[in-house]
Amino acid sequence: MKVWLTMLLGAGLALPAHAARTPRDYAWLYPLELPAAATDNAWRVELTPAVYAHVHDPTLRDIAVFNGDGQLVPFARESPEPALTPREIVTAVPVLVLPASEPAGTATDLHLLIERDGEGRLRRLETSEQVAPAAAAEARDWVLDASGIHGSLESITLTWAAPAGDLVARFSISASDDLQAWRPVGGGSVFALQQGEARLDRRELGLGTLRARYLLLQRVDTGAQLQGLQARIRYSVRAPGGAALEWVDAQAVAPPVVAAPRGDSADGSTFDYVLPAALPIEQVRIELAGDNSVAAIDILALDKAGAKATSLAQTTAFGLTVEGETLRNDATAVNPAARVGRLRVHARTPLAAAPRVQVGFRPDRFVFLAEGKPPYSLVVGSASARLPDYPVDAALARLRAQLGAQWQPPLAHIGAGVPSGGDSVLKAPPVPISWQRWLLWLTLVGGAVLVAGLALGMLRGERK
């Protein structure tokens, strides 16, 4: 490892000059946990809510990494490769209806014809059967052909031609790569309901991050038949090892707020929440406390004092019990201009209790080069110390040229933090007065004394 790093830093990657810093120049210290036998030259670090809680600089430049000798090591925010920038794509996929299970006592002669092209995509899936003498049952199973998708499947969005009224449909989902061996991968519900003036519509089934060529949807409820079913799949092509969305609970502030946000009508209910730290949130999930409830919701970000509110999103939150299953709203996407540490949730109709609020955030990622000997420590929080501009991207480019374009630094886990410099380093140091300023003041004072002396001498001469 030492030889590699010496070559990288010696090949024109000059590090910037900086003042000698120590871990005690920062408020908190977090040990970085690496495998005992690790010999990697570079490591990734994902910031945790505990680290965010001690950040003093809004641009995250009061964070650094020290080695076992107490020396700063090259450390910078990760810059993803342009070719590997995460992309989300939604595409329609073929939907093929499978024959329904037959009632007991009926004789069935089933013929299944599967025709695929050279890449495995379904060109034709035909079924034929003779049922005697009872009529065939309605179709309730569908195969989705996702063989043309090269990425991680994240969700299925369903649409249907009929029925046009209220509908709740529950599905189990299985996956296969050959149409023979199937594995269960989850399930979910879609619904279209009218509750008074509120229209509740959810047609998406989550898949997590799944890779499969074919999906099997099986209807598990006894509701009305879906006709003209169509499907669109959302999938992502992400950088290897990209930071995943993390969820944390927001804590309600008691007692509830009585003022409506932004001068709105005082009707309804308003609740304030605090997060573990100011986080780069991307989604907010609101869960109403009661069953069979619905409310139009405004989601707002608050400043530290709680005096200024900025709108983030509007959504409809609900909890409905249908056939023993509680249906709830999905998370709502938000795009704040800065990290958010406090939230306000305003329901336009009264709520008996504060909803449960969770936020999803994607942590900022940094990379450090393993210069010097371990253990390595991450430090955070300072009014004066700022991260130098290390050319870490150039070092990573050289490593990828040797180890492969898809290589990514492994993840270093952040341990439990301990105070280092404490709160004293969060206070801005007094501005030093330069010797030039002292000399200027001495010159001005001396000049004033000299002028006063001359004036006094002239005054005495006139009296004589």
Tens digit of pLDDT for each residue in 342-356?
999 999 988 889 999
**pLDDT by residue (tens digit) across 128-170?**
554 444 344 577 899 999 998 988 899 999 999 988 888 899 9
Which residues, listed in sequence order, are joined to residue 202 by a DSSP beta bridge? 191
pLDDT of 368 above 50:
yes
Domains of the chain, CATH where assigned: 2-80+364-426 (no CATH), 88-237 (2.60.120), 246-361 (2.60.120.260)
Instruction: Identify whether the C-beta of residue 8 lies closer than 8 Å to the C-beta of residue 41.
Output: yes
CA distance 321 to 293: 9
Evaluate whether 366 touches 47 at the Cβ level (below 8 Å).
yes
pLDDT > 90: percent of the chain: 42
* Block residue for tokens 């253990």: 375
Q: Look at residue 224 and tell me whether its pLDDT is greater than 50.
A: yes
Q: Is the pLDDT of residue 440 over 50?
A: yes
pLDDT at 175 (0 to 100): 94
pTM of the model: 0.72
Mean pLDDT of 81-99: 75
> Average of pLDDT values for 351-363?
93
The larger pLDDT score, comparing residue 81 to residue 193, is at: 193
373-387 confidence digits (pLDDT tens): 999 999 999 998 998
Instruction: With residue 157 as reference, give the H or E element that holds it.
Output: strand 152-159
- Report which of residues 428 and 249 the model is more confident about: 249
Place of tokens 């991260």: 387
Residue 352, helix vs strand vs coil:
coil
For residue 201, pLDDT beyond 60? yes
Amino acid at 439: L
Which pLDDT score, from 0 to 100, does residue 257 have? 60
- CA-wise closest residue to 400 among 122, 18, 41: 41
Q: Is the pLDDT score of 24 beyond 60?
A: yes
Euclidean distance between the first and final Cα of the chain, in Å? Answer: 91
pLDDT in tens, 237-294: 765 555 678 999 999 997 666 544 444 445 789 999 999 999 999 999 999 988 888 8
CB proximity list for 26: less than 8 A, separation 6 or greater: 62, 64, 379, 380, 381, 382, 385, 420, 421, 425
Q: State the chain's mean pLDDT as an integer.
A: 81
14 pLDDT more than 60:
no
Q: Report CA-CA distances (Å) from 349 to 199, 273, 317.
A: 16, 19, 11
- The helix/strand/coil state of 458 is helix
